[in-house]
Amino acid sequence: MANANHMKNILIILPTYNESSDIASIVDVIRSQRLNMNVSVLIIDDNSPDGTGRIAYELSRKFKDVSVLNRETKLGLGKAYIEGFKFALAGNFDYLCEMDADFSHDPRYLVDFCREIETHDLVLGSRYAEGVSIVRWPFLRLVLSFLANKFVKFVTGMPFTDCMGGYKCISTQLIRDITADKIISKGYVFQMEILYRAYMMGARIKEIPIIFYNRKKGRSKMSKSDIFESFFIVLRLRFMLGFRRRRKQRGV
């Protein structure tokens, strides 16, 4: 392991809403990983009625490498990550990692993310890199996810196997470049927007295979409005970013 004085700093961002049953456990598992970086955790809670915010606050008092942002209401996944990005950019972090707090994203993959991000700008965890690696999803949801991914690839032209994947590691320099523009997504399609903007900027992107585990407790936060937003945002981004690239190519 490298000398601690020369180790990079990474921030694991965990947006939460009603995750009281998992938040303490996942923080413990994240902190137990033997990584080649100094790891900090940021919990962003949307005023969860089940007391997630209170548990997160106690964790931050117990561990110096755990911080909490409490928001007054549920404002969407995209806005939660934007808050996390601002936190990372204001701190001394080289990288950040987007990750679900319900163990859908296995913390053991953090080793792979931390290894690959040192030679890339964005590392994407893919549920489809080695076939379909999703556990305990209902068949209908699996089909919808698969078709949504195909739709995004067709519209945007991105070559990745999991364009909607939410488990990713990003350099803060890339985040600084991306957020210099206005992010337009609020819900789950935010994950695709970040990837697409990075792709259109020519970022060095690598996919690594992961297994996605459907949550054992609670229920999915995705709503019908998230699905409708995803459809229209994909089309809007394709037009907006594609038009911008053509203007640059023409030197306008």
* Domains of the chain as residue ranges with CATH: 7-249 (3.90.550.10)
Report how far residue 162's alpha carbon sits from residue 164's, in angstroms, rounded to the nearest whole number. 6
Closest-CA residue to 54 (of 75, 32, 65, 70): 70
pTM: 0.89
SS3 247: helix
Tokens 């699996």 correspond to 142
Report yes or no: 81 and 190 within 8 Å, Cβ to Cβ: yes
pLDDT per residue rounded down to tens, the chain (252 residues): 344 457 899 999 999 999 999 999 999 999 999 999 999 999 999 999 999 999 999 999 999 999 999 998 888 889 999 999 999 999 989 999 999 999 999 999 999 999 999 999 999 999 999 989 999 899 998 998 889 999 999 999 999 999 999 999 999 999 999 987 788 888 889 999 999 999 999 999 999 999 999 876 655 555 556 666 778 888 888 888 765 655 555 554
